[in-house]
Amino acid sequence: MIVFLARRLVTSVPVLIGILFVTFLLGHLIPGDPCRAVLGERATDVVCDAFIARNGLDKPLPEQFVIYVSNIVRGDFGESLRYSRTIMDLLSERLPVTMELGLAAMVFAVTIGIPLGIVSAYKRNSALDVGTMVGANVGVSMPVFWLGLMLAYIFAVLLKDTPFALPPSGRLPAGYQPTPFYEVWSLLQSGASPSNLMVFISRFNILNAILTLNGDLLISALRHLILPAVAVGTIPMAIIARMTRSSVLETLGQDYVRTARSKGLRELAVVINHAVRNAMLPVVTIIGLNFGLLVSGAVLTETIFGLTGVGRTLVDGITARDYPLVQGFTIVIAVAFVLINLVVDIIYGYLDPRIRLS
Amino acid sequence: MKLQQVAHVETRPSSLWRDSFKHILRQRSAIIGLCIIAALILCAIFAPVIANYDPLLPMIGQPGHTGRLPAQPPCIHLLGCSTEQPQHYLGLDLNARDLFSRVIFGSRVSLVVGFSSVLFSIVVGTLFGLVSGYAGGWIDNIIMRLMDVLLAFPSLLLSIAIVTVLGPGLQNALLAISIVTIPAYARLARASVLAVKEYEYVLANRSLGANPFRILFVHIFPNALTPLIVQGTLGIGTAVLEAAALSFIGLGAQPPTPEWGAMLSEARNYVFTAPHMVFFPGFAIMMTVLGFNLLGDGLRDALDPRLNRN
């Protein structure tokens, strides 16, 4: 296992370097003069020369790349042109929004997708199976931003004044400022400012609501999260349901399942302990691979649901030509993607000894 | 098996393609997919005939059009809309253009984007994959690590990054989508090469002194064809979806091009007051992607010789 872990870690190093290189190139390939992009069209040559020298833009490219990497390793992604704040600061503010959304979407996708897949495999060719598979095919084909808009219309307009009405935008009711957990718990000495980590954690509304035992806040945050999470989670759910179905179908036909049945085990035990358990390996991989879908889902739906998360900030950054921001956010997302794939591979290796031995 | 039966089987040689075609025709979902795609292609070819208005023409000042026109809901005479008003099957958009005509013309853009981006990435990806698999060694290593880096980004994010560099527009969006999908085809082609590279017939060709390119394209490439076709069909759906997404965030087709994603983008702030402007373009995207997905799944089953057809 340790050899497998080490080998897997080593192979992700070139990929990480590649990501840094691609984003570095991204910054250099963007047409136009970097100085005038940052300081404005009217910057004089003197000012620009000073800017170029200050930012090391006159050095050879390999040297610039080394400086770039060493800055990033120290957590310095530079400063956003648009917000005049560090990228790190913006990330710590907006990451919780997207992480909450992604996690909720994944919970939705897994808790609905896996049972649906199991049941339709077990009741193969029944109305439920056909319905699920048609639904899964349609679900995979839907543009996530369209689904988001339609959900907003259905739950905020058509179902208005019914108990099913859901808020179509924002994370909390307008103007509502939740009390951070560190203030409720009086963790701070009087006058001291909270640590970055505390602030970061308190920005997860649901976690904060649980920590402060605030039921109203929890319900409100959850209600706001349902529509975007369903929009982002629908495609992964459809994929997971399909994968689970075909995987369970395969294991249901195996000899060990027949053996389990012939031992006189209860049907539920046969299905859950023998068929489903062995069918979960590919499903785990698919769940991990869906992270990319969550990211693109977040990029496309945050704008629709008025959530200031990583995705929306990135899209706004592109339209505002805020290149340091686009660069920084891209790196963080890509690195997270690599790390998640790494974790999935490790889980996979742990679950299936054949993988780590090959 | 009786001798007669054996003789019968041998006199009718079956090819993979003929078998696959027969198999596809027996699959309901693949047929539905084929029908959707056929309808789309017909829409695209005969768009000027099917559409009853110019997709770029605002109706303001046109004969018979009065009152507040922008974002007007659908008007169909058969469904009770007053016959004094001109028919607009799907209503009007924000600039008072006929939405039905725009959706119909949108099929042209989407199909062109889907087919051409997949064609581009299949050609480039296959070339990379074949060379990588056949050459092996450091060439293989460099190409595949490059592909790994491309795969390390969530696809939409990478296409956004590429379009940011190239500048917004439909052509650049198309190029970005193609680049992002190259690794999938490269891996497929490489895997097929690796599978047959050491077979006797390839070794025999090599020992006869055949040109490596001839070996690669005449003897090895056909083995890679079936997975590439399946992946390509599914890839068209993905490409249509990604192009719509890029247009939705303003990086793809620019107004006034009748592109479904761009139409959704224009209409998104009016979803609560004029939902028809959002519903129809999105529905068109969904049907297109669904068509290619269904056909792709059907092809995968039909072209897989390992599957037992009985």
Task: Check whether residue A169 and residue A201 sit in a common domain.
Answer: no
Residue A76, domain member (yes or no): no
What mean pLDDT do residues A26-53 have? 76
Cross-chain residue pair B154–A337, CB shorter than 8 Å:
yes
Task: Please tell me the distance from the alpha carbon of residue B247 to that of residue B240, in angstroms, as a whole number.
Answer: 11
Is residue A270, in this structure, part of any structural domain at all?
A: yes
Q: Work out the pLDDT band at A328, boundaries 50, 70, 90.
A: confident
| Most confident range, picked from A30-39, B40-49, B202-211, B269-278 | B40-49
As beta bridge partners, residue B58 has: B97
Cβ distance of A319 and B272 shorter than 8 Å: no
3-class secondary structure per residue, B220-265: HHHHHHHHHHHHHHHHHHHHHHHHHHHHHCCCCCCCCCCCHHHHHH
The residue-averaged pLDDT of A196-215 equals 87
Check whether B309 has a pLDDT greater than 50: no
Taking alpha carbons only, the member of B43, B30, B31 closest to residue B284 is: B43
CB contact under 8 Å between A23 and B160, yes or no, is: no
Q: Does residue A23 lie within any of the structural domains? A: no
Looking at A284-288, A329-333, B177-181, which range is the least confident one?
A: A284-288
Tokens describing residue A296: 């693109």
- Specify whether A205 is located in the same domain as A219: no
B210-243 residue pLDDT tens: 888 888 888 888 878 888 988 999 999 999 999 9
Residues A349 and A204 in one domain: no
Q: SS3 for A321?
A: coil
Interchain contact, A146 vs B290, CB within 8 Å: no
Paired with A79 in beta bridges are A86
- Tell me, yes or no, whether A62 lies in a domain: no
Q: How far is residue B19's CA from residue A135's CA, in Å, rounded to a whole number?
A: 29
Assess whether A185 and A173 both reside in one domain: no
- Residue A72 resides in a domain: no
Residue A8 lies in a domain: no
Q: How many domains does chain A have?
A: 2
Q: Say whether both A165 and A204 belong to one domain.
A: no
**Token pair of B291 as six digits:** 């068509």
pTM, 2 dp = 0.87
Q: In this predicted model, which residue has the larger pLDDT, B66 or B187?
A: B187
Q: What domain range includes position A209?
A: 180-213
Looking at the structure, do residues A101 and A186 belong to the same domain, yes or no?
no
According to DSSP, residue A188 is labeled S
Question: Best of B164, B181, B182 to disrupt the A interface by mutation (most A CBs within 10 Å)?
Answer: B164
Contacts of B283 in chain A (CB under 8 A): 146
Same domain, A298 and A209: no
From chain A residues 45-74, the ones with a CB under 8 A of any chain B CB are: none
Q: What is the pLDDT of residue B11?
A: 53
The pLDDT, as a whole number, for residue B310 is: 40
Tell me the pLDDT of chain A averaged across its residues.
Answer: 86
pLDDT of residue A289: 77
Please indicate, yes or no, if residue A159 is contained in any of the structural domains.
yes
CA distance A296 to chain B (A): 6
Give the residue-averaged pLDDT of A260-271: 88
B215: amino acid identity, one letter: I
Higher pLDDT, A136 or A5: A136
Given an 8 Å threshold on Cβ–Cβ distance, is B264 in contact with A337? no
Pick the residue of A141, A234, A316 with the most B CBs within 10 A to test the interface with B by mutation: A141
| CB pair distance less than 8 Å for B161 and A23 | yes
- For residues A290 and A151, membership in a common domain is answered with yes
Under DSSP, the state recorded for A79 is B
C-alpha distances out from residue A284 to A103, A297, B155, Å: 15, 20, 20
Q: What mean pLDDT is predicted for residues A218-246?
A: 92
A156 contact B CB<8A: yes
CA-derived radius of gyration, chain A: 24
In a domain, A160, yes or no: yes
Is the predicted pLDDT of residue A68 greater than 70, yes or no?
yes
List the structure tokens of A238: 């459809």
A208 and A253 in a single domain? The answer is no
CB within 8 Å of chain B, chain A residues 274-303: 291-293, 295-296, 299-300, 303
Residue, of B256 and A56, whose pLDDT is higher = B256
The larger pLDDT score, comparing residue B29 to residue A122, is at: A122
> Which residues in chain B have Cβ-Cβ distances shorter than 8 Å to A319?
250
Q: Do B154 and A146 touch (CB under 8 A)?
A: no
Query: What pLDDT shows up at residue B174?
Result: 94
* CATH for A261: 1.10.3720.10
**Interface contacts (A, B; CB < 8 Å):** 136
- Nearest C-alpha in A relative to B144: A15
Taking contacts as CB-CB distances below 8 angstroms, the residues of chain B near A30 are 164-165
ipTM: 0.87
Cβ-based contacts of B287 with chain A (< 8 Å): 141
Tell me which residue of A296, A291, A326, A336 sits closest to A16, measured CA to CA.
Answer: A336
Give dist(CA B189, CA B242) in Å, integer: 23
B157/A330 touch (CB, cutoff 8 Å), yes or no: yes
What is residue A156's DSSP assignment?
I
pLDDT in tens, B47-57: 999 988 889 88
d(CA B272, CA A169): 12
Statement to judge: residues A133 and A276 lie in one domain: yes
pLDDT at B2: 54
Contact between chains at A143 and B161 (C-beta distance less than 8 A):
no
Check residue B292 and give its pLDDT.
Answer: 95
Question: Given an 8 Å threshold on Cβ–Cβ distance, is A146 in contact with B285?
Answer: yes
Q: Are residues A281 and A226 in the same domain?
A: yes
**A144 and A200: one domain?**
no
Going by pLDDT thresholds of 50, 70 and 90, the confidence category of residue A31 is: low
pLDDT tens readout for residues B143-154 = 988 898 888 788
**A254 against A187, higher pLDDT:** A254
